[in-house]
Amino acid sequence: MKINVGSKNEVKVSALKELLAEYDFLAGAEVGAVDAPSEVSKQPKSLEETITGAINRARYSFNDCDLSCGIESGLMRVPSTKSGYMDVCVCAIYDRREFHLGLSSAFECPRAVIADIFSGDLDMNQAFSRAGLTNNPKLGSQEGAVGLLTKGRLTRKEYTKQAIRTALIHLENEI
């Protein structure tokens, strides 16, 4: 079995590779990294846009494989939060017939980060940098904003695995 991931981001690729051993029907699968476009903004600003980005990545990476996986993180409106938004990771797995979606847990970023994303059209890395919270230009390819905010208690890789696991519910249980 071959599974393509619609990204060359090592966090996304390694998250999928590490999960394979947990699923008998995926054991021994080969994982390929494909540079697939999301066709959404570099920082999705709604759940709909984030889902669209994940689906597009899965669709465009489905080439010479059995399954493809699109992973996209983005913001979604959440009432009663301090900033009005939370970040969530969406995984879309495509099996040639349909898309199977899963989401991670969600977390809230500081108000200044959200304000910079919306007013300056910045992505998460740039907004965290501008707010003085990191000087790591590759934050999203390493521990991620969630890793920074939780002081390593929940890393971007684990957060990404949550979304993949919940998307795999559909394939493992055929719901």
Q: Which residues of the chain have pLDDT under 70?
A: 139-141
Q: What is the edge-to-edge ordering of all strands in the sheet holding 99-107?
A: 30-33, 2-5, 67-77, 85-94, 99-107
pLDDT at 48: 98
- What are the residue ranges of helices labelled H in 20-174? 47-61, 111-120, 124-130, 144-149, 156-173
pTM (2 decimals)?
A: 0.94
Query: Which CATH number does 2-108+159-173 carry?
Result: 3.90.950.10
pLDDT at 140: 66
Domain ranges of the chain: 2-108+159-173
- 117/76 Cα distance (integer angstroms): 13
Q: Which residue has the tokens 């684990």?
A: 158
pLDDT at 102: 98
pLDDT at 66: 97
The 10s digit of each residue's pLDDT in 36-49 is: 999 999 999 999 99
pLDDT at 121: 78
